[in-house]
Structure 1
Amino acid sequence: MSDPVIVELPAQRRHTLFFLRATKDFAPVFLDTEVDMTAVRARPGRRISPVTHVLHAAARVLARHPEANSSILDGIVPRLARNTGVHGKVALDKAIGGHRVVLAAVLRDLDQADLESIQDRVEHFRDADPATAPEFEGVRRLHAEPSWRVAARAFRDVVKPLATRSAVWGTFAVTSLGHRPVDSFHSVGGTTVTLGLGRVTDRPVARAGEVVIAPVMRLSLAFDHRVIDGAEAADVLTEIKQALEEQA
């Protein structure tokens, strides 16, 4: 058996590594549920992605749950930022310099936005070229920095301050693997609440005592136990489920 080839981690993965280092103190607890997506599928007009529907529903729910929309900086004297806006971070599957990476886009003030405008913003970031789009300039600079130490310090300087963190990470996060045959997964997005979307697929559902086939999506929620408890997180997940099923 030949020895492995040891190489330096590609610079394109710096931001992911630095993010995971920054979130190592996260105290995750995981919940999940199933959402009947019949009402979402039946919505007339333009096709709106499940990610957009979840962003729209979650933003309105979190506006009613300010504790779950807060950010924490742990330390000798732990501090919380009571975020005045609801800003959603979306994970994007991109390629930079031949390397497949996850990039993030923050959509601000989603509790004030309608489905159409959120979909416009999701499509903008989905279609943006990470090599040229101004929204990803910070990541490109991070990758281009010759020194790993300098790059790591620059990352910390941006994400650590509570006053500016929501602009970088949002106040909640949404990530989806629903484009693949993935039923459910749990992810930590660096925010107090992170929502994970699986695929929408036909499953048996009980309605009025009868079993019918309906499009169902498994929706997970990871919460930081340092900030909120399970009952609050369960309320948030339940209200998001209800909003999606009732198209509220």
Structure 2
Amino acid sequence: MNSAAPHPHVVRRRRHTLYFLEWAARQRPVHLDTEVDMTRIQAHRTAARAGDTRYSVVSYLLYAAGRTLARHPEANAVLAPGRPSLLRAPRITRFESVTAKLALDRTMDGERTVLSALLHGLEDASLAEIQRGVDRYRGEQAVELPEFKGVRMLGRLPVPLGRAAFAAVLRDPRRRPGIFGTVSVSSLGHSAVDGFHSAGGTAITLTAGRILDRPVVRDGRIEPAPVMRLGLTFDHRVIDGATAADVLSDLRDTMEDFDDGSREGVPGPGLRGADRDHRTARGLEQSPA
């Protein structure tokens, strides 16, 4: 009986994902989910398109996540690396700024793979700034950006060296925002996926499904509304379920009550001066599960 040998090319381009999954297996993930009424966000997107501006649904999620985690700093954190012992209590590092790790479906060397991009300073970034960061990673040429150099390097290294290099960059928890971000975000809303969960190596991982018209009750009447399933996975080593539920509830309310604060001639919240393009979103070497 013939057996298919593993394709070395495919193994190489997925090595960064495999190293990540080995590390992320230490998490203790717990999953929550809710539904978000996207009426206000969809109306804002429609109005923006009329003005020749396009916003991705994930940009609104990133916008809301930054503001929500700024209000819940205990969830914008990570468990310091190292094995537990009787003499040392677990250490949790909290971060002052919110950095999202956005999962991307891209083609590398002719094969589909998962890459991730970092978007920094979400606690006060405007929607337009976030969209510019997301747009940077669109298109097939995104994999050639310098910020993905680490992914390409991990694919070329022998497995023992690649695994050691991956572990080395994780030893200092203060470096985590520049590697994994402080919150992971993934969307499959472009496909026929209503909802899903993922553990992205951060205390909080957010996942978005597609938007569908569903029946909702308003003022005692049932009517259709665009609804999106929103998942939240939390690392139980870092926070507890009550905190995670508060984060998810706050995030849902922030999205349902969306208001970017902009007025004609007035910049939106967090926009310092006329332009902040110098704070460009940077790429990530690793990918979420």
Query: Normalized against structure 2, the TM-score is what?
Result: 0.82
Q: Which amino acid is the alignment partner of residue 105 of structure 1?
A: A
8 Å CA contact 2:72, 2:247 repeated in 1:
yes
Q: Hey, what does 1:201 align to over in structure 2? A: 212
Q: 2: CA distance between counterparts of 1:128 and 1:6?
A: 29
8 Å CA contact 1:96, 1:130 repeated in 2:
no
Q: Is 2:123 the partner of 1:111?
A: yes
Segments ≥4 residues shifted beyond 4 Å:
none
Residue 207 of structure 1 and its aligned partner are, at CA, apart by: 0.8
Q: Hey, what does 2:14 align to over in structure 1? A: 13
Q: Which amino acid is the alignment partner of residue 188 of structure 2?
A: L
The one-character-per-residue Cα deviations of 1:4-58 (angstroms, maximum 9, x if unpaired) are 2132561000000000011111001000000000000111323321111011101
* Total equivalences in the alignment: 246
Q: Is 2:63 the partner of 1:56?
A: yes
Q: 2: CA distance between counterparts of 1:244 and 1:148?
A: 42
Counterparts in 2 of 1:65-104, with a 5 A limit? 65-74=72-81, 75-76=83-84, 77=88, 78-104=90-116
Q: Which amino acid is the alignment partner of residue 121 of structure 2?
A: D
The one-character-per-residue Cα deviations of 1:145-175 (angstroms, maximum 9, x if unpaired) are 2x11001111111133201011110000100
SS at match of 1:187: coil
Which sits farther off after the overlay, 23-32 or 122-131?
122-131
Instruction: Give the percent of matched residue pairs that are identical in Structure 1 and Structure 2.
Output: 46
Residue 130 of structure 1 and its aligned partner are, at CA, apart by: 4.3
In the alignment, structure 1 segments of 5+ residues that lack a partner are: none
Q: 2: CA distance between counterparts of 1:173 and 1:124?
A: 18
8 Å CA contact 2:106, 2:140 repeated in 1:
no
8 Å CA contact 1:185, 1:197 repeated in 2:
yes
Q: Is 2:245 the partner of 1:245?
A: no
8 Å CA contact 1:88, 1:172 repeated in 2:
yes
SS at match of 1:201: strand
Residue 131 of structure 1 and its aligned partner are, at CA, apart by: 4.2
Q: Hey, what does 2:284 align to over in structure 1? A: none
The one-character-per-residue Cα deviations of 1:119-147 (angstroms, maximum 9, x if unpaired) are 110111223624421111111111122x1
In the alignment, structure 2 segments of 5+ residues that lack a partner are: 260-289
Q: Hey, what does 2:40 align to over in structure 1? A: 39
Query: Normalized against structure 1, the TM-score is what?
Result: 0.95
Q: 1: CA distance between counterparts of 2:111 and 2:80?
A: 32
Q: Which amino acid is the alignment partner of residue 70 of structure 2?
A: A
